[in-house]
Structure 1
C-alpha cells in the first residue's frame, strides 16, 4: 500500500469529505477521489459510506483508520530519529581495535569525541591483532577500525594518522647499567614481559627477542597484568610511551637505538560512513594534527 494513499485517506477522514481534503493536500478533487477508489480497489473493501452529504467510515474504514494513523505516526518517529542522527543529535559509532592501540591513542580520541559530540555514543570492540580488526569490519561488528597502518588492509579505505613511539620500560631497581638510548641488541640480554601470541607485536619486536625467546621471561597476553609485573620488578617490557608514563609511573623509560615506532591509522568499510563515524574520523584526524580532507567521504 502506497504511503501517499494512506496520507490521502487520513486527510479525507479528518476533513469529512473530498473537497476540503483536496484543498488541504493541494491536489485536485478528481485526483483525490481517484486515489481513494484505488485504495479501496487494492484492499478489496469499501472504506466510505457515500449515501449522505458527509462521507462516513464503514467498519473496514474504521479499522484502516486506526492502522493508518499508527503507520503515519511510526513514519514520523522514524524520520525524526534519522534527522537526529544526520544532525549528530543522536547515534553511535562502533570502533574495533587491538591491544596495541586500545589505550594510546584510543582513550584520548574517545574523550575528545565525547567532548565535541556529547549526544553521540561510542562502542569500542576488542579484536585479536590487525587480522581480527579486519574480520570484525567484514562481519559488520564495527564501522571503523584502529590498527597498525603497516598491516595489509585489503580492500578497506585506509586513513593514516601517525606513529606510536615504543620505549623500553624497566623496573627502577633493574636499570642501573642502562644508558639512554638503549641499543636494540642490548635488549636481548634484558628479561622481558611480552605477548608472544600477538602477531603484530612479534613482527615489530623481532630484533629485541633472543633466539628461542629466551629473554622473554613472562609471555603475557593481558596488558594490565604485564604492567603490574613490571611494577613489581619481574621484568621489563616494550610499550607505547604514553602507556608507559600513565600505567607504569614508577618504572624508567628508555628510548631505543635505532628508534622503534609503530604506524597506526583508521580503516573504514567501503561506502559513505554514517554521520557518527564521520564525526569520529574528523576527531581522530584532529587529535594527531592531520587536516581533514572533505573529499574522503564527502564534506564532514
Structure 2
C-alpha cells in the first residue's frame, strides 16, 4: 500500500464516480479502477459498491475513508511543519539573560519575537550571571544568552550588541542623591552592594577594576546574584552600587540613579553555540540585532 492508493480511494469516495475521480486525479479511468481493486484485495474486504451510474461506500469503506483522510492530512501537516522549521518559522528557543537586560531589552525582544515568529516557542531564564549562561549554553539548557563578556569558552560564538554606560544607584536619602553626576572617587569609603564575586559575575570584576583605577578599594558589604536583589538592598539603605544604565528601568521606591562621570561602560553580547545553525535561532538573532540598532 502506498499513499497514492489512499489518495485514489479518497477521490473516488468523494466523487462517487470513477470517471470524475480519474479526471480529478489527471489519470485514465481503467488504471484507477485497477488500483482500487488492488487496494480492496490487499485489505481483504469491499470498500465500494459499484453500479452502472454511481459508486457507494460500504460500511467498511466509510470507516476507511475517515482514517484515510486523517492519514493524508497528517502527511500534509508533517511536510508543512518541516518546511516551516527549515525556514526558521517554527521551533523552540530558550533565552538566558543577565539581570540588567532582563528589565530592559528582554521584554521588547520577547514581544517582537512573538509578533514576527509566532510559531517559535520562546522560553526565558532571567537573572542568569554570565558564567552560568556559558555553562547552560554548553549543556544545551539555553540556546541564546544575553550576557556580559568576556566569555572564554571557544565552543561559543559571542557577538557584542552594545556598550552600556555605568551609573550609580544610591538610596534616595543619600548625600549623593541630590547630585546629577557623580565622580567614581567620591564613592571611596561607601558601603558597596555588588554582584557575586569569585568569578561568578562579570560586573563584580568590572566594578572592582574601575574602583581600583580610581585609586581606592571598594568596601564590599553585600554580594548578591540577582540584580533585583541588589537594587532592593540599595533602596533599603544597605549600600550603594555601580550598575549598567539599563538597571534604571527597574523602578523601586527608595532608590535614585545618578550618572557616573567618565567613559566607563560594560558590553552586552549575544552568545550562542558555535555549531548551532538552527534557522529559527538565526532569525531570532536578526530580530535581536535589529532591536539593538
CA distance in structure 1 between the partners assigned to 2:95 and 2:83 by the alignment? 23
Closer, same or farther: CA 38–149 of 1 in aligned 2, 3 Å: farther
Q: Tell me the residue number matched to 2:256.
A: 251
Q: Tell me the residue number matched to 1:144.
A: 144
Closer, same or farther: CA 127–58 of 1 in aligned 2, 3 Å: farther
User: 2:103 aligns to what SS in structure 1?
Assistant: coil
Q: Tell me the residue number matched to 2:107.
A: 107
Instruction: Pick from 230, 245, 248 the counterpart of residue 226 of structure 1.
Output: 230
1:1-300 matched pairs, under 5 angstroms:
2-37=2-37, 39-40=39-40, 43-48=42-47, 52-53=51-52, 54-58=54-58, 60-74=60-74, 93-113=93-113, 117=116, 122-126=122-126, 128-137=128-137, 141-152=141-152, 154-172=154-172, 173-175=174-176, 180-183=182-185, 189-196=189-196, 198-207=200-209, 215-244=219-248, 246-247=250-251, 250-255=255-260, 259-267=264-272, 270-274=276-280, 277=281, 279-289=283-293
Moved more, 51-60 or 3-12: 51-60
In the alignment of these two chains, the number of paired residues is: 281
User: 2:277 aligns to what SS in structure 1?
Assistant: coil
Closer, same or farther: CA 196–49 of 1 in aligned 2, 3 Å: closer
Normalised by the length of structure 1, the TM-score is 0.71
CA distance in structure 2 between the partners assigned to 1:146 and 1:47 by the alignment? 62
CA distance in structure 1 between the partners assigned to 2:251 and 2:292 by the alignment? 21
Closer, same or farther: CA 99–5 of 1 in aligned 2, 3 Å: farther
CA distance in structure 2 between the partners assigned to 1:238 and 1:282 by the alignment? 31
CA distance in structure 1 between the partners assigned to 2:142 and 2:234 by the alignment? 33
Closer, same or farther: CA 40–136 of 1 in aligned 2, 3 Å: farther
Normalised by the length of structure 2, the TM-score is 0.73
CA distance in structure 1 between the partners assigned to 2:97 and 2:34 by the alignment? 57
User: 2:182 aligns to what SS in structure 1?
Assistant: coil
Q: Which runs of 5+ in 2 are unaligned?
A: none
CA distance in structure 2 between the partners assigned to 1:209 and 1:47 by the alignment? 87
User: 1:145 aligns to what SS in structure 2?
Assistant: strand
CA deviation vs aligned residue, 1:193-221 (integer Å, no higher than 9, x gap): 123253333333342578xx972212222
User: 1:247 aligns to what SS in structure 2?
Assistant: coil
The structural deviation recorded for 1:169 is 2.2
